[in-house]
Amino acid sequence: MSELMISEQAPARRPAPLRSFTRAQKAAAVLLAVGPDAASKVLKHLAEHEVEQVALEVATLGELDPADLNPILEEFHGEAMAHAHLVSGGEGYARDMLRRVFGPDGDDVVDRVLATVQTAPFQFLRQHEPRELIQQLRDEHPQTIALILAHLPTKFASKLLSDLEEDTQRQVSLRIALLDRTSPEVIERVEEALRERMGAVARQRALECGGVRDLAAMLNNADRHTEQSILNNLEEHDPELAEQVRELMFVFEDIVILDDRAVQEVLRQVDMKVVARALKGTADDVRDIVTRNLSERAREMLLEELELLGPMRVREVEEAQTEVVRRIRGLEEEGAIVINRGGEGEFID
């Protein structure tokens, strides 16, 4: 049993309700709903740690029933409206507008949005569902729970308090009433431990294979930098999961698995200057498969272009590689070439 401040025997934890989603999982669900092309464009505007977190959730989310997805999309729409009204008119204006649309629930929408931009203690908890938080707080000492609830928005704290067991409710209520000033160091330690616990809960969710294919589709449409960043992060967290994603993808270095006919088809459809930029700094086997599938004159032109390039920014090389890979994927979708990925069976002449 893990505790944040004070050791005390507590009742066993109840199992979490089915399909209780964290904020990161909801973001992943929205990306799945809009499709890989739009999702890859959204990922470009997120911070690196946000991209990594959402990508991990996409890979492990699995298939979503409409009964689960529709409320998430409705919540997303409401919060998007709240953001717009907060920016244009402030909190009071946003609350007034959202109450007209959602009734009393409009205040909840605004509270959720404010929780994502405010830095008061424990505000990150507002991004989780009350039922999920109760599962994590159930074993904590009433003094710890009181400290946490005292720093949360009143309406959200009252939901948590009402979901506690009756005896715990009484003890927590008493301690809230008697709560005095708490040192910032204590608050910081409790907040850090709870943040770590909530993150661990998200990581422990069962892996469902459906999300892996969705993540691979998003990465297939993402730029090279985003693709590499996400795959490297997945490799650190879960090498097996990263391998499953890679098996469903095609990255530039995978050109070595194409047969000569496929490489020739690709080279016919990509500008040689783009090919030269894409080959900058690549391994010998990648360069070899390209050069051996060119005519002597085309090979000379390519090598000359490579010599003229000089030093290049990494992003310029990655952009060229992305362009080549998109053409390869397009040719595969058209049935013009076949990518013989491992595990897909042998060909018979």
Predicted confidence at residue 91, as pLDDT, reads 65
Q: What pLDDT, on the 0 to 100 scale, is given for residue 207?
A: 37
Q: What is the pLDDT of residue 343?
A: 42
Architecture of domain 129-205: Orthogonal Bundle (1.10)
Residue type for position 268 = R
For the chain, 349 residues long, the average pLDDT of each consecutive 10-residue run is 41 40 82 82 76 79 77 81 65 71 74 60 70 79 86 79 86 84 79 73 42 76 77 82 77 87 92 92 90 92 87 85 86 81 44
Count of CB atoms situated within 10 Å of the CB of 346 = 5
Class for the domain spanning 252-334? mainly alpha
In terms of Cα–Cα distance, which of 147, 182, 140 is closest to 164?
140
How far is residue 26's CA from residue 61's CA, in Å, rounded to a whole number?
Answer: 10
Residue holding tokens 């989310």? 61
Residue 100, pLDDT score: 75
Q: Domain coordinates of the chain in residue numbers?
A: 129-205, 252-334
pTM, 2 dp: 0.40
19: CB partners within 8 A, 6+ apart: 65, 68
Q: What is the pLDDT of residues 16-34, one digit of tens each?
A: 333 567 878 888 888 888 8
Distance CA 319, CA 223 (A): 7
- Residue 125's nearest CA partner among 199, 27, 16 is 199
How confident is the model over 274-309, as pLDDT tens digits? 999 999 888 889 999 999 999 999 999 998 888 888
Q: What is the largest CA-CA distance in the chain?
A: 85
Let me know if the fold of 129-205 is the same as that of 252-334: yes
pLDDT given for residue 42 in this prediction: 80
pLDDT in tens, 92-116: 766 777 777 678 777 777 676 666 5
Of 321, 146, 170, the closest CA to residue 251 belongs to 321
Q: Are 294 and 245 in contact (CB under 8 A)?
A: no
Reading the block at residue 40, the tokens are 């890859």
Secondary structure class of 41 (helix, strand, coil): helix
pLDDT of residue 176: 85
Q: Which of 23, 74, 20, 61 is nearest to 218 (CA)?
A: 61
Question: What gap in Å lies between CA 93 and CA 106, rounded to an integer?
Answer: 12
